[in-house]
Structure 1
Amino acid sequence: MLLSQNNQKINLDQTEIVKFPDGDYVQGRKPRILVAPLDWGLGHATRCIPIIRELLQQGAEVSMAGEGAQEQLLRAEFPDVPFLPLQGYRVKYASTRSGVIRKIIAQSPKFLKAIGKEHEWLKKIIKENKIDTVISDNRYGLYNAEIPCVLITHQLAIKSPFGRWSEWLLQKRNYKYINRFTECWIPDLQGSDNLAGDLSHPVTMPKANVRYIGWLSRFKKNLLQEKTGHLLIILSGPEPQRSLFENIIIRDIAHYEGSATIVRGLPGTNALLPSTNSIRIYNHLPAKQLNEEMEVAEFVISRSGYSTVMDIAALQKKSILVPTPGQTEQEYLAGYYMENNIALAVSQQFFSLPAEIQKARVFHYRLPEIVSRNNLKTTIEDLLSRLR
């Protein structure tokens, strides 16, 4: 750990960062924590749910920040928690894999501008709301030299379609941002029993204080009876890829002889797709209801986004994962899970619901063991104790 034991601030790569104070920081009031997830899909917001729950349970005063679908989701889960408007990165995808890669590269200047804007926004918010600590899920501009700031990410290493030289450059840039934060929390287990593979366990670690906090899932086992032939299909991610996968699902589900629940990943949207007696379609489901739907499903079909996989692992469900085309992180994770028999993976291009169900029934799943949630509890206890 590079932080000095005596000084509050140190200089690291010409970036001033701050350590946690040694008590008497909040001065008799509840510590005020700002939690802000990235708007790249819903996963960053959903994995903040257990963090916010734990903060509230341990007596912190929480504010949330974001916009759009992430705001709708978090407001539904925590209607009494204040929400601050914060513009997202507003990533856009293309309809083909190569197009997605080109479009993400083309949007790089926009992402850098968004990082700068949210950094300036945070300065104002800290003063206006007397924020004591920031917990940022993959929003690289939410650091400040005046208060402790935590970054949550499972991507220390970033996969690239252009080879290892580009991955080295991306990691170097990634670590430059990570090292601006007081701590970096990794939602994974340290060691071989991990879910993110090389992404969370690179050869070279950042200089920031890194802490593995365990898997983050909003779900827990309720011992509900699994229904043979019942599917839970979760759609998510940026457009147009979300809609393209939805069209494939709607095409194939019409001929499915079992039952299914389809969650479209569109919180706050009013337009509905018609349901039938055996196929129920929802724009969005609150965490409690989605927890129950996942528990009773024989198979879960979803993207291979890391937050979704943590939810699936928490309930030890058999899954069929379809990575978003061109999203290299999801493509890597899908391959990693297939290789380790954690999940059946298939590309969107070749997806056929009847064929994938047949494969899943004979696939030799090796589901990860459920791990204790005490890592998160201890992490939050440690955070708040250093602020009180």
Structure 2
Amino acid sequence: MRRKKILVAPLNWGLGHAARCIPLIKALEEEGFEPVLASDGNALLLLEKEFPHLSSFELPSYNVEYSTSGSSLKWKMMWDSPKILKAIKAEKKLTKKLVEEYNLSGIISDNRFGVRYKHLKNVFITHQLNVLSGSTTYFSSKIHQKYIKKFDECWIPDAPGNKNLSGILGHLAKKEESIKYMGPLSRFKKQDVPLKYKYLILLSGPEPQRSILEKLLLEKFKDTSEKILMIRGLLSGQCKPAAPKNIHVENYKFGQELEEIINSSEVIISRSGYTSVMDFAKLEKKAFFIPTPGQFEQEYLAERLANLGIAPFCRQDKFELSHLEELKKHKGLKDIGGSSHLRELFALF
């Protein structure tokens, strides 16, 4: 009997979308499906490293870049919207070609609006039913929800009740029938291992903000004696920056090796992206968050976790080592549990 081929296509916006698709792809294989992978840039490279045995295809890039000033990020995104719409149109055309050439049976798109085909069952994955954008939140949320309705179902990687990770991002006042909650997704498992690093710095996200934070943290930690590992989030072979002897720098780690590194680190310093929040909750780690300037979603998640007494944060331009003392007042992230019910969701195909 032919294995049904399911296209899995995460957005290339940092590595979070691709990373959270890893457990989903593994679950598809376990349930007898044959995943077909599609993305671009570092997101595609990550999936190809994790699943070298699966077919993969390059999609048009949205070319998402941040501004150097957080306050102007929203307006830059609006300015870039024509090229994003052009990419959506192009990926829709390419999706049709992939469906016909590879006899696909279903589509799972993680935040790629053009990856759908009218004669198949189409799933959209997002943790943002509400898209926070400051004074334009109402409009950005309505536009996003309108696009989501073009898909048969919307899967949210979170729990449906009050005990959840995404807060107002992933929960509407009135839930629609097409919205399904998967439970939090993480590619990692908690391990009881000896601690090796005091701080693990995990960098991610589009430029130039990734590089700005890297430079800032190397400067701030240069006179410390704590054992630190910095993972830059770069999948290609860029030259590593000069670093103090107590800071070991790697461009990227993935798979089981990355899982072991996070488990063996006392504190994680990272952006407050939602995939990171899910991963650190699964591994029950203490974290200090530095939201990407101007990214309302990350700022909301960081502030929410701080208000709940779970993890402290501060603005990038205000960061000082003294802020890490706030970790003593916060309990750290915990696994909220909840089965993902992926087998039941896959019944759609």
Smaller-chain TM-score bracket:
over 0.9
- Counterpart in 1 of 2:329? 363
Shift of 1:364: 2.7
- Equivalent position of 1:195 in the other structure: 165
Q: Deviations over 1:318-358 (max 9, x none)?
A: 10000000111111111111111121111001012x21222
1:294 aligns with 2:256: no
Match of 1:126 among 99, 118, 127: 99
- Give the superposition deviation at 1:173: 1.2
Per-residue CA distance 1:186-241 (angstroms, 9 max, x = gap): 00011111111000112244x561100000101101211234x6111001111110
Letter of the structure 1 residue corresponding to residue 232 of structure 2: R
The CA distance in 2 between the partners of 1:342 and 1:232, in whole Å, is 18
2:284 and 2:332 in contact (8 A); partners too: no
Letter of the 1:349 counterpart: D
Deviation at 1:295, TM superposition (A): 0.9
Q: What is the CA deviation profile of residues 19-47 of structure 1, one whole-angstrom value per residue up to 9, with x for unaligned ones?
A: xxxxxxxxx31010111100111100100
Q: After superposition, where does 1:29-108 map in structure 2 within 5 Å?
A: 29-108=2-81
User: Contact 2:164/2:336 (CA < 8 Å) preserved in 1?
Assistant: no
Matches within 5 A, 1:1-388: 28-162=1-135, 166-205=136-175, 207=176, 209-227=178-196, 230-274=198-242, 278-352=246-320, 354-360=321-327, 362-365=328-331, 367-372=333-338, 374-375=339-340, 378-379=341-342, 381-387=343-349
Q: Is contact 2:285–2:334 with CA below 8 Å preserved after alignment?
A: no
Displacement of 1:274 in angstroms is 4.6
Deviation, 1:99, is: 2.4
CA shift, 1:368, in A, is: 2.8
Q: TM-score, normalised by structure 1?
A: 0.86
Query: Are the structure 2 counterparts of residues 276 and 76 from structure 1 closer, same or farther at C-alpha, using a change threshold of 3 Å?
Result: farther
Give distance in 1, aligned partners of 2:216 and 2:23: 32
Note the alpha carbon deviations across 1:81-140, whole angstroms, 9 max, x for none. Answer: 111111221111111112222211211122222222211211111001111111110111
Unaligned stretches of 5+ residues in structure 1: 1-27
One-letter identity of the residue aligned with 1:327: Q
What is the CA–CA distance in structure 1 between the aligned matches of 2:202 and 2:271, rounded to whole Å?
8
Shift of 1:171: 1.9
Identity %, equivalent residues: 39
| 1:272-321 deviation per Cα after TM superposition (whole angstroms, max 9, x unaligned) | 23566532111110121111111111110000000011101001101000
User: Cα RMSD over matched residues?
Assistant: 1.6
Larger RCO: 1 or 2 (CA < 8 Å, sep 6+): 1
Aligned partners of 2:222 and 2:244 also within 8 Å? no
Q: In structure 1, the residue corresponding to 2:37 is in which secondary structure?
A: strand
Structure 2 unaligned regions, length at least 5:
none
Q: Which amino acid aligns with 2:61?
A: G
Please report the TM-score for the alignment, with normalisation by the length of structure 2: 0.96
Tell whether the 8 Å contact from 1:119 to 1:143 is kept in structure 2 after alignment.
Answer: yes
Letter in 1 for 2:290: V
Q: Does the 8 Å contact 1:340/1:366 carry over to 2?
A: no
- SS where residue 302 of structure 2 aligns? helix
Larger Rg: 1
Q: How far 1:384 sits from its partner (Å)?
A: 4.2
CA distance in 2: counterparts of 1:386 and 1:110, whole angstroms: 33
Q: 1:366 to 1:358 in 2, by over 3 A?
A: closer
One-letter amino acid of the structure 2 residue matched with residue 58 of structure 1: E
Counterpart Cα distance in 2 of 1:357 and 1:332: 20
Q: Contact 2:222–2:243 at 8 Å: present in 1 too? A: no
The residue number in structure 2 matching 1:13 is none
